[in-house]
Structure 1
Amino acid sequence: MAHLLVSLSGLTDDLAARAGHLADALDQRGVPLTLLVRPCGPDGPLRPGGLVDWLRHRREGGDALVLHGFDHTADPTAARNPIALGRRAEFAALPRHEAGLRLTAARRVLTGVGLRTDSFAPPRWSASPGTVAALTEQGFAVLADEAGVRRLDGAAPPLRGRVLGLRSRSAADVRGPRRLAADATRAARRGEAVRIDVRAVDLGYADRFAAVLAAVDAARAAGAVPADYRLPAAARAA
């Protein structure tokens, strides 16, 4: 059975209203939303009010809250590693100890504004073995990475499926409604998890907003069952 998971990333106070429009549209379709939360952004750590109040409201209404890294520092170990090449994502290469420190700091920020989660999605969906070890040590239940969504205790089969979005890895190519919907349909027909990730900034463009909803509708039409990232959907639907 295919499952449909829609996540929203890049959330800020300025973009909360746009996020609300997507959430309302998904509510009308009976599709839950998974909110990927970065504890520290360009303007500093999350603060009470605004976005945090909206996140709490959505969580109380049934949406999933997932820790999405700490501050998205590109390759935080590179400064101490002269042979490091490129700009890897924040948790893509961290050893266990350093990943643990960042996870602890991230949780502290969330707790400080009254938010909690035991689910984790690394920036760019890339988690090092050290990160996986640190997540397990700290009692995280779920990891969502580029391969799929899985329980770290192995209590349920993983959901396999790549992340679909409006932008390719190069961030230069913006998919049109037909392409994103076609990708979602193919994944659903193969019985894979249809994982649609939306960047909040893209919701300000009418054609991109429409592309997301078209992909959601296409996945549902192809038989995908709505779910979220808190647990593998196969376990939730059992």
Structure 2
Amino acid sequence: MLTGGVATRLLVSLSGVDAGSLEHCASVADELDRLRVPLSLLVNPLPEQSAVGWVRFRRSTGDALVLNGFGRSPVFVPQQRRARRKPSLPAHEAGLRLIATVASLEVRGLVTDCFALLDETVSLGTMTALRRHGFTVCADANGVHDLKTGTHWRGRVRRIGQRAEFAMIPRRAELVRITVDAADLARHPYRWALFDAVEDALRDGAIPGTYAEVRVPPLRRASGHGPRSSPR
């Protein structure tokens, strides 16, 4: 899958990791390892201590750590309503929130320069605050921003799980973005849907990576996938 001669990137993210979902998260991560597909771990500013060790381990294997918003529980906004919402958080308020959320992560030994708010469009004020506080990547509902160069890669999020909406991935999208909540991994139909979506993207030639790597030109990984049955 090429867009203007540039390979499409596949970004798979996982949010909501906690003690109750760790076993399922580990199982899914192992299967994605077999497919050579890394995860972007969307971590809240106050992650459960039981999950911190696993997140650190997964980061050491090549997964990315991404700050998932400002710490308030995300509100799911249907696709058709997102386009009508105007992001308005000013830079000063966003900066104050960032100071608190970054401190919460750092006391747990977690540091990142990637930020995500996948259910909304991030305001210009938020992006200004992110730059000021050393963040280099910002992902929102419509794409991913390189905060150093101003480059914007287009690609809406395809959500897998009980909050999912049917979303076709454009064949010429710059990014194929798939996200799932850890709580949904316990339900086999959602696991199957996740693996099916990932394998479809791989068969179309998408190059797997993470949000932390999106600023770097993609390098095709050694093939780790081929004809197979989804793990069920």
Q: TM-score range by the shorter chain?
A: 0.7 to 0.9
Counterpart in the other structure of 2:226? none
| Pairing 1:160–2:166 present | no
After superposition, give the CA deviation of every residue in 1:75-98 in whole Å (9 maximum; x if it has no partner): 9xxxxxxxxxx9xxxxx4321111
Counterpart in the other structure of 1:39? 45
1:129–1:221 CA distance, 2 compared to 1 (3 A) = same
Alignment: residue pair count = 205
The correspondence of residues 1-238 of structure 1 with structure 2, limited to 5 A, is 1-40=7-46, 46=47, 48=49, 50-72=50-72, 92-122=87-117, 124-154=119-149, 157-166=151-160, 171=163, 174=164, 183=168, 186-187=169-170, 189-232=171-214, 235-237=217-219
Equivalent residues of 2:21, 2:182 under 8 A apart: yes
1:233–1:225 CA distance, 2 compared to 1 (3 A) = farther
Structure 2, unpaired ranges of 5+: 1-6, 76-80, 82-86, 221-232
Equivalent residues of 2:161, 2:190 under 8 A apart: no
Structure showing the higher helix proportion among its residues: 1
Comparing 56-65 and 14-23, the one that deviates more: 14-23
Output the CA distance in 1 between the equivalents of 2:192 and 2:48: 31
Across the aligned residues of Structure 1 and Structure 2, the Cα RMSD in angstroms comes to: 2.5
Q: CA deviation at 1:196?
A: 0.3
Q: Normalising to structure 2: TM-score of the pair?
A: 0.80
Output the CA distance in 2 between the equivalents of 1:70 and 1:13: 21
Q: CA deviation at 1:74?
A: 6.8
Output the CA distance in 1 between the equivalents of 2:48 and 2:14: 19
Equivalent residues of 1:69, 1:103 under 8 A apart: no
Q: Normalising to structure 1: TM-score of the pair?
A: 0.78
Counterpart in the other structure of 2:78? none
Structure 1, unpaired ranges of 5+: 41-45, 76-85, 87-91
